[in-house]
Amino acid sequence: MVAPVMKAAIIASTAISAYSAIQQGKYAKAAAEEEARQYEEQKRMAELKAIEDANARKRDWLESSASNRALFAAKTGTDPNESASFLALRESNELTASRDLGAIRLMGASESRKYDLSSWNSKMSGKAAMTSAYGRASSTLLSGYRDLNA
């Protein structure tokens, strides 16, 4: 039979160890949740950057298109829309700009998805930390019970 002082020590040690395991889990979960929030913020920033990059590319295309039209008209004295070669050049530039915009959007979506996955992983790490903490606390309590009844 375990002496009363020893019982008190086992109970105290068991309680403190179980409490400590749960607190560690809570701290790990809080850290993982904060990390997830950071990834979500980075995702929003990546989405905004893709929009800004696409807008900048579109502005560049519109400016160069207007400049080309003005230069052609000034040099030839004719309406650019009546020139097959000018229209072919404009169509080629439009296709290039369209492909560029698609690539910018695709890269933005890819970056956004990367941050989504990182955020999800962080959240799962937090949940796993709590599950592990409860497991350690339970194990500690069972060990304490076993020691009391030894």
pLDDT tens-digit map of 62-84 = 999 999 999 999 998 888 888 99
pTM score of the predicted model: 0.76
How would residue 16 be classed by pLDDT, with cut points 50, 70 and 90? Answer: very high
Q: What is the pLDDT of residues 81-95, one digit of tens each?
A: 889 989 999 999 999
How would residue 150 be classed by pLDDT, with cut points 50, 70 and 90? Answer: confident
Q: Which of 42-56, 70-84, 97-111, 120-134 has the lowest mean pLDDT?
A: 70-84
How would residue 149 be classed by pLDDT, with cut points 50, 70 and 90? Answer: confident
Instruction: State the Cα–Cα distance between residues 137 and 132, nearest whole angstrom.
Output: 9
How would residue 1 be classed by pLDDT, with cut points 50, 70 and 90? Answer: low
Instruction: State the Cα–Cα distance between residues 31 and 39, nearest whole angstrom.
Output: 12
Give the H or E element holding residue 125.
helix 84-148
Average pLDDT over residues 125-134: 96
Q: Which of 54-68, 69-83, 106-120 has the lowest mean pLDDT?
A: 69-83
